[in-house]
Amino acid sequence: MERYDLLIAGGGAAGLSLAYRLAASQWSGLRIAVIEAEVKEGNDRTWCFWEQGEGPFEGLLAHRWDRMDFYGYHGKQVSLDLQPYAYKMLRSGDFYAHCHKALDLAPHIHRIQDRVRGYEKGTGSEGTEILVHMQQKTVQAPLVFASTPLEGALDEARHGLWLNQHFKGYYLASEEPLFEGLTARLMDFRVEQVDGYPCFVYVLPTDAHHALVEYTVFSPDAWTNAAYDAPLHRYMEENLGLRDHFQVLHTEYGQIPMTDYDFVGAWRRRYPDLPGLVPIGTMGGLGRPSTGYTFTNIQRHCELILQELTKTRKADFGARMPSRFKHYDRTLLRVLVERKYPGHALFERLFDRNPTALLLAFLDGQSRFGQEITIMNRSPRPVMMSAMIRNMLGNASVPKG
Ligand SMILES: Cc1cc2nc3c(=O)[nH]c(=O)nc-3n(C[C@H](O)[C@H](O)[C@H](O)COP(=O)(O)OP(=O)(O)OC[C@H]3O[C@@H](n4cnc5c(N)ncnc54)[C@H](O)[C@@H]3O)c2cc1C
């Protein structure tokens, strides 16, 4: 049986972000393999995130913005000065190609195209190892970083605080230079708030003729692909003056779980005797429950894993964020789930009353405690306090979608 020092199961955002870093020559003493079921190429998703300074994939960015606009449901415009952050757009096709190239140049990294069927305890010369059963063969390693789906996890997650962030967007080309001078729109709530759940549009122009326009909903269940078309087209016509004379170059349709579900705990319950099996990515619980943003957390987790790999003992590969941010996330998520206070009004208040950089730091789990108190004081306090208390009391009476 093939044996590796380290396996990465799933070669998407998390798996490739980790493998890319491990392709550096300093890790050439490790025999590593990345297992991916599909041929990953092309733009199956666009990652947007905010970041200070330059990140590891800076040269690949499709675009970055220092200023953006927010629009409330009733039309209030808030100008957002993001600095020292920038909002960045990375296309998955560019990311996959760049990472694959780096892996192919690293002789210690192997790529296996196969589908993982399961993980099991095995033994190696130095003790317990993990057997990774795939459709065509089985390989083993003492350490496996997995972003493959954990069966049943998302179904279980739906029983707790849960929303599905679902969206459909067009990357489009307009004949007229329609986007010239147009400030990117981070959230534009000037659309119908279907069933009282937050519905908004991103507008991310990459030049005078091209933009990603994405209609996004936070609600328990995704819509059919066709259901987004009418509101998306209406928005494009009413708020961008795009009636015809445009071409859709690419359509993006996707879903991101927004949940406080304990993914890591679920892996531990499913594989109690495999401490070397470390979940990463969405299946490692790295999506922020209140926003769905995941990409930045994935990058931070990769950096932490690298630090821990340099330790010979007691490595702890768990993603870390001060626990108070879990409370904030759960509070915001509960307010959105319960809809006692409109989601659009919550976001408008947060963006209107706080310096953008502070709010972005908060939503990213990077703010200081004193700043968080300020943000809480500027939010609808009774609603937030009530949600926070009910979270602390373990209130399970969450309306299900
Ligand atoms: C369309 C879309 C857009 C998104 N946009 C953003 C964004 O703008 N900003 C942001 O922060 N987050 C975004 N997210 C959320 C999150 O960042 C992404 O989902 C991200 O790709 C998660 O990384 P991952 O590695 O956990 O999952 P993936 O990138 O999905 O990687 C998992 C990999 O595992 C492979 N795999 C699955 N099962 C098996 C198996 N049995 N055996 C072997 N391989 C397997 C899959 O083929 C896949 O390549 C988006 C999500 C989607 C779906």
pLDDT tens for 281-324 read 999 999 999 999 999 999 999 999 999 999 876 778 888 888 89
Quick one: pLDDT at residue 395?
Answer: 59
How many other CB atoms sit within 10 Å of the CB of residue 29?
8
Could you please report the per-residue DSSP string of 6-50? Answer: EEEE--SHHHHHHHHHHTSGGGTTS-EEEEESS---S-S-EEEEE
Buried b or exposed e, range 162-179, using 16+ CB within 10 angstroms: bbbbbbbbbbbbbeeebb
> How many whole angstroms from 297 Cα to the centroid of ligand 1?
13
Quick one: pLDDT at residue 329?
Answer: 95
Which numbered atom of ligand 1 lies nearest the CA of 16? 25
Residue 399 has pLDDT above 50, yes or no: no
Quote the CA–CA distance of 92 and 256 in Å, as a whole number. 16
2-68+82-156+260-309, which class in CATH? alpha beta
> Which residues have CB under 8 Å from 20's CB, separation 6+?
56, 98, 99, 102, 103
Q: How confident is the model at residue 144 (pLDDT cuts 50, 70, 90)?
A: very high
Q: Is 294 in the pocket of ligand 1 (CB under 6 A)?
A: yes
Quote the CA–CA distance of 300 and 308 in Å, as a whole number. 12
Which numbered atom of ligand 1 lies nearest the CA of 280? 26
Percent of the chain with pLDDT over 70: 98
Sequence ranges of the domains in the chain: 2-68+82-156+260-309, 163-252, 323-392
Quick one: pLDDT at residue 314?
Answer: 75
pLDDT tens for 24-45 read 999 999 999 999 999 998 889 9
Residue of 7, 40, 47, 111 with the most ligand 1 atoms within 8 Å of its CB, for mutation = 47
User: Across the beta sheet with 144-146, what order do the strands follow?
Assistant: 109-113, 32-36, 6-9, 144-146, 277-279
Quick one: pLDDT at residue 237?
Answer: 96
Q: Is 300 in the pocket of ligand 1 (CB under 6 A)?
A: no
User: Across the chain, what does the average pLDDT equal?
Assistant: 95
| pLDDT (mean) for 319-347 | 94
Residue whose CA lies nearest to ligand 1 atom number 30: 12
pLDDT tens for 191-243 read 999 999 999 999 999 999 999 999 999 999 999 999 999 999 999 999 999 98
Residue 401 has pLDDT above 70, yes or no: no
Q: How confident is the model at residue 126 (pLDDT cuts 50, 70, 90)?
A: confident
